[in-house]
Amino acid sequence: MKVLVIGGSKGIGKACAEQLLESGNEVIVAARSNNSISHLPLEFIDLDVLEDVSSLEDFDELNGLIYCPGSINLRPFHRLTGEDFKNDFELNVYGAIKCIQSCLPALKKGKGSVVLFSTVAVQQGMAFHASVAASKGAIEGLTRSLASELAPHIRVNAIAPSLTDTPLAGALLSNDKKREASEERHPLKRVGNAKEIASMAVHLVSENGGWITGQVIGIDGGMSRVR
């Protein structure tokens, strides 16, 4: 398979790139930096999804697109500004829309599969998550809508993780006390790691996930469903 991982330089996206390479796939990573992946045998595209992404139109054929850029901007609602909501939407949603649109012909040709990222905080109400939940809720709507419109040529799914140990979650896991409190909140009594989220993304883009579309899959230590 030939798979484009947008935001594959860190965290879950980097783990996706590593797992795809391990199973012999061709991987292209698009991100703003490549320091932590320069040792990997992949193609790198210097790209900021908040800017012009038309360079992605150059692909002839793609079998997968995984869109990883996202935010965790947690604040009481009264302290969230309009700019916060707009910025979260630009990165989480509009960035994904631009990238998918640019890759659409290549994905159609490659009978491709798109994987997007939501959060557990869409299905489970959580204080201070208003901005990120609003954006990721849009991702869930986009996932189902595109899955319908693009079937049977392109499959579209999303993963909704709970707290996962990546650079993005660094501030929430920055000391033992915070980590223990987060672990305690989850029915499975730990936070997630990038590899276990990535393995679902890889499953969804691969042939083994070939009958799955329009789904939002929770990987959350039981957080969304279990008391």
Q: How far apart are CA 5 and CA 82, in angstroms?
A: 30
Q: Where are any strands of DSSP class E within 63-139?
A: 64-67, 113-117
Q: Which residues pair with 17 in a beta bridge?
A: none
Q: Toward ligand NAP, which CB reaches closer, 104 or 116?
A: 116
Restricting to residues 142-201, which ones interact with ligand NAP according to CB under 6 A? 161, 163-164, 166-169
Q: What is the DSSP letter of 166?
A: S
Least Cβ distance, residue 70 to ligand NAP (angstroms): 2
Return the range that interacts with ligand NAP (CB under 6 A); candidates 20-28, 48-56, 98-106, 207-215: 48-56
Q: How far apart are CA 212 and CA 204, in angstroms?
A: 7
Least Cβ distance, residue 160 to ligand NAP (angstroms): 7
Restricting to residues 86-115, which ones interact with ligand NAP according to CB under 6 A? 91
Q: How far apart are CA 180 and CA 52, in angstroms?
A: 41
DSSP per residue, 12-56: HHHHHHHHHHHTT-EEEEEES--GGGTTSSSEEEE--TTS--GGG
> Phi/psi class of residue 111: alpha, beta or left (left: φ > 0; alpha: ψ in -120 to 50)?
left
Contact present, 12 and 164 (Cβ < 8 Å) = yes
How many residues bind ligand NAP, per CB under 6 A? 28
Q: In degrees rounded to 5, what are phi and psi of residue 120?
A: -55, -25
Q: Toward ligand NAP, which CB reaches closer, 153 or 178?
A: 178
Q: Site for ligand NAP (CB under 6 A): which residue of 63, 102, 119, 131?
A: 119
Return the range that interacts with ligand NAP (CB under 6 A); candidates 16-24, 31-39, 122-130, 144-152: 31-39
Q: How far apart are CA 93 and CA 80, in angstroms?
A: 18
Least Cβ distance, residue 152 to ligand NAP (angstroms): 27
Site string for ligand NAP, 50-89 (x = CB under 6 A): x-----------------xxxx------------------
Q: Toward ligand NAP, which CB reaches closer, 109 or 159?
A: 159
Using CB atoms, what's the residue nearest to ligand NAP?
70
CA dihedral angle for residue 189, residue 115, residue 43, residue 88, rounded to 10 degrees: -80
Q: Site for ligand NAP (CB under 6 A): which residue of 4, 13, 42, 156?
A: 13
Residue with tokens 């484009």: 4
Positions that interact with ligand NAP (CB under 6 A): 7-13, 31-33, 47-50, 68-71, 91, 117, 119, 161, 163-164, 166-169
